Amino acid sequence: MKLIIARPSPYARKARVALQEKKIDCEIVVENPWLPQTRINDANPLGKVPALVLDDGSVIHDSKVIFEYLETLETPPPLIPADASARITHKQIEAIADGICDAVVLIALEGARAEDKRSEDWIERQHKKIVAGVGELERLLGQREWFTDFGFGLAEIASVCALEYIDFRYPRFQWRDSAPGLIGLQERVSARPSFVATVPAPQVLPAL
């Protein structure tokens, strides 16, 4: 099995963390999907990382699907609850966290455009999604240690990948000022070896 990633990608990080938590053997291949010579389209028609290439050559892409696939391998520990209600909560939180990352990516791409082609209105629109998304994660966590009684799993992984992606790509938004509960969550989760080993690292973003 081979996982194609980009080092800064928060989506790829979710899959990398799941592999490490479950101690699943998997080759990691680093790509830069933004470069013209990228081979990512051979694996994913949408040209995005992550993509998981199975031993029979078939490919699973989109981090949500990869995460779900890894769970079907039934390698402990489980990271998605079997209970339907907790499962939906985890998937809902993943959707919010990924939505935050989508907005951060769009702001970063806008920043890569020539100044006269940038839209401040567009950046502001995305900024509001990030602020609202973090606010919702904070509300959902409340005073608890974990989002659900299941404990550490998909919701916590996706959320901390998103929060640390904000730190990495969009430090203008100081989320810690408005989300005290998430500070504790981020500190607890980021100390895990799976998170320490997958801290986002810079990659060239070509001018658009």
Ligand X SMILES: N[C@@H](CCC(=O)N[C@@H](CS)C(=O)NCC(=O)O)C(=O)O
Q: How far is the CB of 99 from ligand X (least distance, A)?
A: 10
**Site mask for ligand X (CB under 6 A), range 23-62, x = bound:** ----------x-------------xxxx-----------x
Q: Does 9 bind ligand X (CB under 6 A)?
A: yes
**Count residues contacting ligand X (CB under 6 A)?**
13
Burial class (CB in 10 A: 0-12, 13-18, 19+), 26: middle
6, 36, 53, 128, 171 from 39: Cα distances, Å: 12, 9, 13, 34, 30
Tokens of 111: 């920043």
Cα-Cα-Cα-Cα dihedral sign, residues 86, 26, 192, 189 = negative
**In this complex, which beta carbon is closest to ligand X, that of residue 28 or of residue 183?**
28
Give, as ranges, the residues between 76 and 105 that touch ligand X (CB under 6 A): 98, 105
Residues in the chain: 208
Nearer to ligand X, 20 or 38 (CB): 38
Tell me which residues touch ligand X (CB under 6 A): 6, 9, 11, 33, 47-50, 62-64, 98, 105
